[in-house]
Amino acid sequence: MQPMAIDSSRRTIVKGLLLSSAAPWFSSGCATARRDSIPTFIGCATKTRNKYMAVIADQFGQPIHQFPLLERGHGSAVNTALHHVAVFSRRPGHYFQVYHYLSGESLQLRLATRNRYFYGHGVYSSDFRRLYTTEGEVGSSRGIIGVYDAEHEYQKVAEFTGIGIGPHEIILLDNDVLAIAVGGIHTKGREPKNLATMMPSLSYLSSDGRLLEQVVLADHQMSIRHLSKGKASVYCALQNKGDLSEFPPLVYQHSFTASTKGQNMKPLQAEPEQWARFNNYIGSIATTEQWVIATSPRGNCYGIWSQQSGRLLELSRLSDASGVAAQGQTFAVSSGSGSAIMTRLNNDKKQDNQVVTPVFWDNHWSRI
């Protein structure tokens, strides 16, 4: 592991993080949880102004375990072999924290190493022994993939570079290939500094950090931020950082195989007025066996596309639609208003169930 140097500007937050990690988790959802509740979703949430938490919810979207976060959280990564979930603080994040999702116990707090910060996402290797995280270099936003040993207190064991500026979500594909959404934006804090020259990409790495392929869009101001693995493609969720009076496609598809190497990304299909509903911003993306689902908290909506045809099938309103998680023929959408939509395909018919939760969900949901 590289030595962890903590400068004076970080001492206050380090002290707070350590106090937060020592605080006991609480289970406000247990009193009303059903007996058949199963840990199913993990997401970050807002408790009150400037107070944040991570929440493990059951299959009905109701909280089982809740634990405080000092900083606003963003994404999470699930390790089903160890029953771990890593929760990442929002960019520019100072830490990630690991919990046992069955007991709610806090297991490990890992601070960003010197001159690094977290972008809010990570993914475990297929054998669950390593955790890959998207990170940036302070002062330049140079993209870094941090590699952590999940079996040895999440010590940092390696760094991968050469992917560009501003990596965001990272997912695992077949054969331990890593796909990274590289947003292309250099920031100071959260303020963008290079929108005129930004260069986003979809980058593929081997498990040992070799760059396998890097794909760019014709419009360099379409920032690639989030990813989901479909049946035969990677689906990319974008945010428009250019002319906001235009409403370009915000979801793209790309196939990564030896036979398709060098192909361009292709936009999914929707009418211009439908893309306008998303307000130039996709917040989360997920895939079932048949569908691609993308949310827009700024547009207060989510869309469902067919993977087979690439066409938009449905565009639905949901106030502050934020996270989406999918498995098999089911998906669930969370919202900052506390509502959640549970959807499944039953005998070729889509069935929606809207539930109300006591949680103001924020950013992403992951499926356990």
Superfamily of segment(s) 8-367? YVTN repeat-like/Quinoprotein amine dehydrogenase (2.130.10.10)
Residue 117 pLDDT exceeds 60? yes
Query: By percentage, how much of the chain surpasses pLDDT 70?
Result: 90
pLDDT at 289: 95
Average pLDDT, the chain: 91
Confidence of residue 48 (pLDDT cuts 50, 70, 90): confident
Check: pTM over 0.75? Answer yes or no.
Answer: yes
Residue 23 pLDDT exceeds 90: no
* pLDDT one-digit tens code per residue, 52-101: 999 999 999 999 999 999 899 999 999 999 999 999 999 999 999 999 99
| pLDDT, mean of residues 184-208 | 96
Q: Helix/strand/coil (H, E, C) string of the chain?
A: CCCCCCCHHHHHHHHHHHHHHHCCCECCCCCCCCCCCCCCEEEEEEEECCEEEEEEECCCCCEEEEEEECCCEEEEEEECCCCEEEEEECCCECEEEEEECCCCCEEEEEECCCCEEEEEEEEECCCCCEEEEEEEECCCCEEEEEEEECCCCCEEEEEECCCCECEEEEEECHHHCEEEEECCCCEECCEECCCCCCCCEEEEECCCCCEEEEECCCCCCEEEEEEEECCCCEEEEEEECCCCCCCCCCEEEECCCCCCCCCCCEECECCHHHHHHCCCECCEEEECCCEEEEEECCCCEEEEEECCCCEEEEEEECCCEEEEEEECCEEEEEECCCEEEEEEEECCEEEEEEEECCCEEEEEEEEC
Res 261: pLDDT: 80
The Cα 103–Cα 86 span in angstroms is 14
Q: What are the tens digits of pLDDT across the range 143-162? A: 999 999 999 999 999 999 99
pLDDT at 27 > cutoff 60: no
Q: Is the dihedral of CA 258, 263, 269, 272 positive or negative?
A: positive
Band of residue 262 on the pLDDT scale cut at 50, 70, 90: confident
pLDDT tens track for 266-296: 999 999 999 999 999 999 999 999 999 999 9
Q: Are 29 and 66 in contact (CB under 8 A)?
A: yes
